[in-house]
Amino acid sequence: MTERLADFYGTYQSTIGYIGLNGLLALSVYTTLSCGQLALGNAGFMAIGAYAAVLLTMEAHVPFGLSLLAGTLLPALVAVPLGLPVLRLKGVFLAIATIGFGEVVRLSLVNSEAVNGAQGIVAIPQKTSVGLIFAALALAVALLGRLKGSKWGFALEAIREDEPAARTMGIPTGAYKLSMLALGAALAGLAGALEAHFTFMVAPNGFGFDRVVDMLVFAVVGGSGVVFGPVVGAAFLTLLPEVLREVAPMVGIEPGPLRMAVDGLVLLLVILFLPNGIVSLAGVIRARRSGRRPAGGTESTR
């Protein structure tokens, strides 16, 4: 039994690690969604955290713990001056502005010979363990869980539901939104620093727009109404390709196209029938069995 578990872990160690990393990235999007802001610059923050930690580890020979701390704090510091102007924007305009920030970061890395340009940095010492990844994820969930029912959490809910009304009640909406943007940036930077020391390499093409879409989909599919929802979505969509890799030969379709089709179908079904994410599935089933309308309603678009 022990040998089987060891073989299983050896085979799927990378996948297990990415469940934790993707969970952190999903939570980095959840932080801004929790106050009704669609900020999508997380790939840029992730890149800043990853490169900062790697350069400190490899060039300055800083202990890994301090490199990890720097990779977490630096994106948060960058988020503050970025957030002051862009958080005045709303909806799609905020999304476009923050996506633009991420692309500026990525293209700057591509054109920087100091970090080996588009080829990135390789032979990074493996300092990250699966246990460390999940310890960071547990800490992030605990922190955000503590916020949920606190005065801070209620203020975020008020801002999400009706920002002008929250402002008239004396809630400093700008400070709350900026703090959540910085917290999301810190989580993305932490994930980037951990990933870089887990996969032995870091390159700009790993921080493109498709990475941002993945983060957002994790949160939407899992459910952004509860703290653990984005983590559930990240775990589900990280494991799905492994299942499809086994199914693809049976249906005569290449794994890549099959994964894209199934991912799109899952997202569509969740949006149509489970707008509160797959974490709400049990509640919907119970409500239907008892003849009641599900809490929040499947017609909800929030």
Task: List the chain domain ranges.
Answer: 2-206
Dist CA 279 CA 284 (whole Å):
10
Q: What is the pLDDT of residue 294?
A: 59
Taking 70 as the pLDDT cut, the residues of the chain under it are 1, 8, 292-302
231, 137 Cβ separation under 8 angstroms: yes
Q: What's residue 293's pLDDT?
A: 61
DSSP three-state, residue 121: strand
Q: Are the beta carbons of 231 and 23 closer than 8 angstroms? A: yes
pTM of the model: 0.92
Q: How far apart, in whole angstroms, are the C-alpha atoms of residue 183 and residue 159?
A: 17
pLDDT at 301: 37
pLDDT at site 300:
40
Cα separation, 54 vs 70, in Å, equals: 10
Q: Can you name the residues that pair with 121 across neighbouring β-strands?
A: 202
Taking 3-state DSSP, the helix, strand and coil percentages for the chain, each rounded to the nearest 5, stand at 75, 0, 20
Residue 222's pLDDT is: 94
**CB distance 121 to 54 below 8 Å:** yes
The per-residue pLDDT for 296 is 53
